[in-house]
Amino acid sequence: MITAEGVTVRYGRTVALDAADLTASTGITFGLIGPNGSGKSTMLRAMLGALRRAGGRVEVDGVSVDDLTARQRAERIAVVAQEEPSGLPLTAWDSVLLGRSPRLSGWSRYRPVDEQAAAEAMSRAGVDALAHRGIDELSGGERQRVLIARALAQEATHLLLDEPTNHLDVRYQHDILSLVHSLPLTTVVVLHDLNLAGRYCDELMLLDGGRIAARGTPHDVLVPDVLEPVYGISMRRVDLDGVPQLVFRPAERAVT
């Protein structure tokens, strides 16, 4: 379980996150949604302990992230950032094996157990065949799967993802989130696409201007009366096979 209580983050005089609370229970996929600049990525970074909080507390399985060393955090929390080229001459295998670094002591070499963990992670993420390909030669969807495999090799119990479907086509968006949702981890994911959030998240928190506008199940949060004031666009909801999905109605432009 990962919890945040009263988390406040300021950038100068700007309040990016205002006393936000979050509880991601064991084994669920928890989605952070909201417009650009609403505080989603800030919340994720605060949960990781990667930025200074002006107030509040974050705990992982009852332990404050402030009391964990960098190695201890890495043993508990794996992170998949927005998809981007690494710029390093790494193969997919090299990248996944890096996930074992927090499990090593000092400058020790990778052990057979590390290689086994990396191989199992690649198999689980479905990227075995990419092992000897250069990481920057892969498509966006392939690269994201490799990064998820690296997180699995890390053997952390919590997974944080910042817009993992960014710049991916529709097939890979569903492939990636289907994989994420199937993992036996406590997962917090930042998403822009509300329909993807409705399909693959167990719980959602809607942020607006750094404050919590709504939280609950997708059925509770993905409601036009809740979303329209936040996003400034008309919409209606349809339930497909029990999954809430939204149809948007942009305002018509005046003809001059």
pLDDT for residue 89 is more than 60: yes
pLDDT in tens, 116-148: 999 999 998 889 999 999 988 888 888 888 988
Is residue 105 domain-resident?
no
The predicted pLDDT at position 228 comes to 96
Is residue 110 domain-resident?
no
Report residue 38 CA to chain centroid gap: 16
Cβ 51 vs Cβ 29: under 8 Å: no
Q: For tokens 């075995």, name the residue.
A: 128
Is residue 16 domain-resident?
yes
Average pLDDT on 39-59 reads 91
**Confidence grade of residue 84 (pLDDT, cut at 50, 70, 90):** low
Q: How far apart are CA 140 and CA 85, in angstroms?
A: 9
Is residue 15 domain-resident?
yes
Is residue 129 domain-resident?
no
Residue 57's CATH number? 3.40.50.300
pLDDT for residue 255 is more than 60: no
Average model confidence (pLDDT) across the chain: 90
HSE on the CB side for 214, CA within 13 Å?
20
Cβ 235 vs Cβ 228: under 8 Å: yes
Is residue 45 domain-resident?
yes
Is residue 78 domain-resident?
no
Poorest-pLDDT segment among 104-108, 111-115, 214-218, 243-247:
104-108
The predicted pLDDT at position 250 comes to 79
Kindly list the distances between the CA atom of residue 198 and the CA atoms of 4, 41, 60, 204, 237, in Å, as whole numbers in the listed order: 22, 19, 25, 8, 11
Share of the chain above pLDDT 90, in %: 66
The predicted pLDDT at position 83 comes to 58
Amino acid 39 reads G
**Confidence grade of residue 256 (pLDDT, cut at 50, 70, 90):** low
Domain extent at residue 9: 2-61+157-249
Task: Report the domain count for the chain.
Answer: 1
Is residue 229 domain-resident?
yes
pLDDT for residue 9 is more than 90: yes
pLDDT for residue 254 is more than 60: no
